[in-house]
Amino acid sequence: MERKSISSSMIRSIGYDESTSTLEIEFNSGAVWHYHDFPLTSWYEFDGAESHGKFFHSSIKNNYRESQVG
């Protein structure tokens, strides 16, 4: 999955696979996580968020099935 770099104190890059509804986040620690069944509308909200870290904590973390992939 192709990710784009973002400016965030906790997240290095983000990507989305529309065919599988999977969000991919690479954290500054180097860990890469997938968030499954992530809606396209939420991707657009996350991508355009003023603070990706705040959006992650309020709307993503513990709200979707997740798996560490890297």
Render pLDDT for 9-49 as a digit per residue (tens, 0 to 9): 999 999 999 999 999 999 999 999 999 999 999 999 999 99
- pLDDT at position 32 is 98
- pLDDT at position 46 is 98
Q: Are 49 and 39 in contact (CB under 8 A)?
A: no
Q: 45 by DSSP, 3-state: which?
A: helix
Distance (Å, rounded) from C-alpha 65 to C-alpha 61? 9
- pLDDT at position 34 is 98
- pLDDT at position 68 is 98
User: Number of folded domains in the chain?
Assistant: 1
Q: What range does the domain containing 57 cover?
A: 4-68
Q: How many residues does the chain have?
A: 70
Render pLDDT for 54-64 as a digit per residue (tens, 0 to 9): 999 999 999 99
Report yes or no on whether pTM surpasses 0.75.
yes
